[in-house]
Amino acid sequence: MVSEPGSIELCFSDLEAATSGVVGVAPTDTVERAVTLMVLRDFSQLPVLSGPRSLKGAISWKSLGESRLRSYPKEVRECMKTPNVVGLASPVLPALATISAHDFVLVQDRNATLAGIVTAADITLEFGWLAKPFLLLGEVERRLRALLARGARPEDVMADVVPDGESPPSSFEEVTLGELERSFERPEIWQELRIDLDRGEFVKSLSEVRKLRNQMVHFRGEPPDPARIQTLESFARVLRLVGA
């Protein structure tokens, strides 16, 4: 799952659902067949195709319900709607409003072959997964600042790095992650924190977190690395255990 060469946006090609293929029905298929497929596969919609590159529409629980208010459709073509279609190389963010309003979009590749369906539920899962490392990093930084505040003052931590003539920070919110790391390296500060952990191992893990943060600043839509998430989860768990 990679974006088009040179892309710096999150594109549909980055989303697993957009490239997972589709299960479709034909316009002349019975409504019962479409309903059965949706129930068996736990789908809320199906594309209507007369061939791999011949998209005719889409049937969904919503379109079926609206059609049954007017009549009792027997064939899929009687209750299909015109779907919203995007390309694999299309950026995701501009399409979020469309997905929210219509529940899904169909995704086509360069050859107009249907590559997948992206639903509102898919977006929730994908963005939750992509956001997880950023949320964990935010938690880690907040807990580190709270922990350091138990045994030090910002002006003491930054005393050696503030240029002459400048005032030291009045809050740990103004201290960078790298400066936090250097603070935990100092034996006198560590002793004041009264944590029953090895300072060297703690700082080594914190250094890994800082490196991950620097990598995440250059995030380009790649799937999150499970090892990265594990590192952040483990360090966040340690901070929770020490009451930070």
User: Which structural domains are found in the chain, ordered by start?
Assistant: 12-112 (3.10.580.10), 124-241 (no CATH)
Asked if residue 66 has pLDDT above 90, the reply is yes
51-60, 186-195, 221-230: least confidently modelled range: 221-230
What is the DSSP-derived secondary structure letter of residue 91?
A: B
Most confident of 33-42, 122-131, 184-193, 218-227: 33-42
- Is 84 in contact with 105 (CB distance < 8 Å)? yes
Rounded mean pLDDT, 103-122 = 94
In the chain, where does DSSP find H-type helix?
31-41, 61-70, 96-102, 120-149, 154-157, 177-185, 187-193, 199-217, 226-241
Higher pLDDT, 129 or 134: 134
Instruction: Report the percentage of the chain scoring pLDDT > 70.
Output: 87
The residue-averaged pLDDT of 106-130 equals 91
Mean pLDDT of the chain: 87
Q: State the pLDDT at residue 5.
A: 44
- Residue 39 CB-density burial (10 A; 0-12 exposed, 13-18 middle, 19+ buried): exposed
Residue 1 has pLDDT above 50, yes or no: no
